[in-house]
């Protein structure tokens, strides 16, 4: 596993930039999870206070002590930590059957057979013929929430291999885009009585997708078009 990028560190927390493809926590069949590898890198045990999906990259907070972990888990639960995401999707989301450049998605998310409420806010930042760039914030923090909501709204995230459009994913691989195009790119946290804002550039796989928003596979007659969007 490559060294994890450290964005910020104080006596309580470390803000890191997690790479795509890295599992946050260990378990059966999981090699080199973040919690173990980062502990080795830092030379002491680190404690998770929230998570990102394995294939999602970007900013995370980890704690340096159990006491700090308890504090920051509570702060995240109280929504004092604001996480913002960037996604590249096929098309643009539909709200109430209409393609939209801004809105809120509220479909419930299933977990262990239960229907859980979920809220995802989105704004289309850039739109091409095939793909669009979305800025997203969460009203709730359900597992795979962004991925599920965007897929249900007709704008699956590029290279989402669980909830996305597998045919489109296969086509877009021909443009060299092979990694889930979702990243936590901005994080606002309370520090020393102020709000500290951390922001990272798009990871390389998202940069590549952004450069190819108009890409179409015309060699075999297959095209991917975004929804008609009334701006």
Determine the Cα–Cα distance for residues 52 and 194; give it in Å rounded to an integer. 25
What is the CB neighbour count within 10 angstroms for residue 85? 21
143, 120 contact by CB (below 8 A): no
Determine the Cα–Cα distance for residues 231 and 229; give it in Å rounded to an integer. 6
Determine the Cα–Cα distance for residues 47 and 94; give it in Å rounded to an integer. 38
Strand partners, 138: 120
Q: Is 228 a catalytic residue?
A: no
Determine the Cα–Cα distance for residues 154 and 62; give it in Å rounded to an integer. 34
Strand partners, 114: 111
Choosing from 53, 107, 160, 161, the catalytic residue is 53
Determine the Cα–Cα distance for residues 205 and 180; give it in Å rounded to an integer. 8
> Any idea what DSSP says for residue 157?
B
Q: What residues act catalytically?
A: 53
């Amino acid at each position: 596993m490559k060294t994890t990028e450290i964005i910020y560190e104080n006596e309580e927390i470390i803000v890191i930039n997690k790479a795509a493809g890295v599992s946050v926590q260990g378990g059966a069949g999981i090699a080199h999870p973040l919690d173990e590898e980062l502990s080795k890198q830092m030379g002491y045990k680190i404690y998770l206070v929230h998570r990102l999906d394995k294939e999602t990259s970007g900013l995370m907070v980890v704690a340096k002590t159990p006491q700090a972990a308890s504090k920051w888990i509570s702060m995240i639960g109280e929504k004092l930590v604001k996480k913002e995401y960037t996604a590249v999707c096929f098309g643009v989301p539909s709200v109430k059957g209409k393609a939209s450049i801004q809105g809120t998605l509220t479909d419930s998310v299933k977990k262990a057979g239960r229907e859980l409420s979920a809220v995802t806010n989105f704004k289309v930042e850039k739109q091409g013929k095939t793909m669009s760039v979305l800025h997203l914030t969460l009203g709730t923090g359900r597992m795979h929430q962004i991925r599920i909501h965007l897929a249900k709204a007709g704008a699956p995230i590029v290279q989402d291999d669980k909830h996305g459009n597998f045919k489109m994913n296969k086509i877009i691989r021909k443009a060299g885009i092979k990694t889930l195009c979702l990243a936590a790119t901005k994080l606002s946290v309370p520090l020393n009585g102020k709000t500290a804002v951390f922001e990272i550039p798009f990871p390389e796989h998202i940069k590549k997708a952004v450069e190819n928003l108009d890409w179409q596979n015309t060699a075999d007659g297959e095209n991917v078009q975004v929804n008609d969007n009334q701006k």
